[in-house]
């Protein structure tokens, strides 16, 4: 598959310190995209930027917490100073903290809402003017949101996580009505079981064990396979928008 059309573009990838975000940043950079790496862990970002540059790519490490508006504002300034206008945004930052609702883990609820929904909105607000300007100049402009199959299919004890992803899926659909007429593509990707760091965030031993058992039974996807899907969707002709992509392991119903 040729991704040559990506060469010369400028991307922002959130959640770039690990998982789907890191894999996406690596793949885009390998195809000639200048990539701004956004995440909280500065050391991990610096290591990734060094690795990308060692492979001949261009990367900018920008330590930023998407739950902090001031941090996002500062990140925008750094990206614009280094790279100028952005034409590709990948919202891959996310947290998954399952627990029974009856446990009332308000701390977890707030963290998921702040990261998975409000964090994505902050990044969208920050870079949408760039995307619109890029499209108006005749270029390709993409907003890619990484949601989850949990937006549609309920899993016991994942109610709040699924609700945040359902919100992101709806947001993507609604934004197409605003941005599509301005030639900005919006793509919502909903992976099923995928091997990332999300599982390590779970502090419930029973649920953590259940997730591990699902990987053994279903043969989960890799972060690289999701990254490949992002590269595919964003390298199509600018009038072609793969608006909603659900990707599952073959064994996952």
Task: Decide if 161 is catalytic.
Answer: yes
Q: What six digits make up the tokens of 109?
A: 């609820």
Strand partners, 90: 13, 144
**May I ask the CATH class of domain 4-247?**
alpha beta
- In this structure, what DSSP letter does residue 183 have? T
Question: Which pLDDT does position 210 carry in this prediction?
Answer: 66
Question: Which pLDDT does position 200 carry in this prediction?
Answer: 53
Average pLDDT on 67-93 reads: 98
Nearest CA among 54, 13, 5, 26 for reference residue 143 = 13
Question: Which pLDDT does position 85 carry in this prediction?
Answer: 98
For residue range 41-66, list pLDDT tens digits in order: 999 999 999 999 999 999 999 999 99
Question: Which pLDDT does position 37 carry in this prediction?
Answer: 98
Question: What are the distances in angstroms from CA 101 to CA 106, 157, 241?
Answer: 9, 7, 37
Do 190 and 170 form a contact (C-beta atoms < 8 A)? Answer: no
Do 105 and 99 form a contact (C-beta atoms < 8 A)? Answer: yes
Question: Among 9-18, 216-225, 229-238, whose mean pLDDT is lowest?
Answer: 216-225
Cα separation, 84 vs 77, in Å, equals: 9
pLDDT exceeds 70 at position 6: yes
Nearest CA among 160, 178, 150 for reference residue 110 = 160
Q: Sign of the C-alpha dihedral, residues 132, 134, 140, 143?
A: negative
Q: Strands (DSSP E) along 7-53, which ranges?
A: 10-14, 34-39
For residue range 147-204, list pLDDT tens digits in order: 999 999 888 888 999 999 999 999 999 999 999 999 999 999 999 988 865 555 555 6
Which residue in 3, 83, 158, 161 is the catalytic one?
Answer: 161
pLDDT exceeds 70 at position 78: yes
For residue range 96-138, list pLDDT tens digits in order: 998 889 987 999 999 999 999 999 999 999 999 999 999 999 9
């Amino acid at each position: 598959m040729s991704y040559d059309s990506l060469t010369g573009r400028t991307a922002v990838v959130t959640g770039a310190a690990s998982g789907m975000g890191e894999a996406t940043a690596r793949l885009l950079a390998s195809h000639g995209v200048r990539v701004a790496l956004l995440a909280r862990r500065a050391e991990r970002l610096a290591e990734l930027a060094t690795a990308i540059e060692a492979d001949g790519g261009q990367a900018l490490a920008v330590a930023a917490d998407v739950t902090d508006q001031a941090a996002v504002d500062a990140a925008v300034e750094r990206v614009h100073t280094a790279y100028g206008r952005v034409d590709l945004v990948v919202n891959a930052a996310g947290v998954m903290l399952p627990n029974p609702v009856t446990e009332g883990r308000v701390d977890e609820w707030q963290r998921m809402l702040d990261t998975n929904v409000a964090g994505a909105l902050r990044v969208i607000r920050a870079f949408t003017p760039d995307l619109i300007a890029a499209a108006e100049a005749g270029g390709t402009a993409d907003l890619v949101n990484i949601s989850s199959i949990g937006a549609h299919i309920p899993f016991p004890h994942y109610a709040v996580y699924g609700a945040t992803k359902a919100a992101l899926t709806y947001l993507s659909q609604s934004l197409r009505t605003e941005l599509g007429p301005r030639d900005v593509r919006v793509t919502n990707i909903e992976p099923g079981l995928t091997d990332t760091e999300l599982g390590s965030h779970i502090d419930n031993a029973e649920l953590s064990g259940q997730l591990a058992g699902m990987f053994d039974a279903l043969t989960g996807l890799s972060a690289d396979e999701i990254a490949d899907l992002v590269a595919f969707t964003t390298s199509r002709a600018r009038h072609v928008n793969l608006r909603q992509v659900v990707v599952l392991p073959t064994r996952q119903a």
